[in-house]
């Protein structure tokens, strides 16, 4: 599985779509599966969320803040 390609695909699909960004912030795993067809494990999910957040950070401040919230939730879930 090419994580960088998934990140790139997700960024292109999320950019300019606040409804998708909201879905991504509430359940990133489900949206990744819906938009890419890939089921990802917890480590892959953390990597994808971090990558998408970083890439959207270049022009989407609200998405970055939401992405940080997701990362914090993931960290608390996995104790890291």
Whether the per-residue pLDDT at 27 is higher than 70: the answer is yes
Contact at 8 Å (CB) between 51 and 4? yes
Global pTM value: 0.69
Domain range for residue 46?
3-78
**C-alpha span between 75 and 12 (Å, rounded):** 25
* pLDDT, position 54: 86
**C-alpha span between 73 and 16 (Å, rounded):** 24
Main-chain phi, psi angles of 34, to 5 degrees: -60, -45
Domain total of the chain: 1
Read off the tokens for 61: 């401040």
């Amino acid at each position: 599985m090419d994580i960088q390609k998934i990140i790139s695909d997700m960024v292109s699909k999320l950019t300019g779509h606040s409804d998708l960004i909201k879905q991504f912030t509430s359940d990133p795993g489900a949206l990744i599966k819906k938009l890419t067809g890939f089921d990802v494990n917890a480590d892959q999910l953390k990597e994808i969320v971090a990558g998408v957040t970083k890439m959207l950070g270049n022009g989407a401040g609200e998405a970055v803040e939401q992405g940080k919230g997701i990362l914090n939730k993931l960290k608390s879930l996995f104790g890291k």
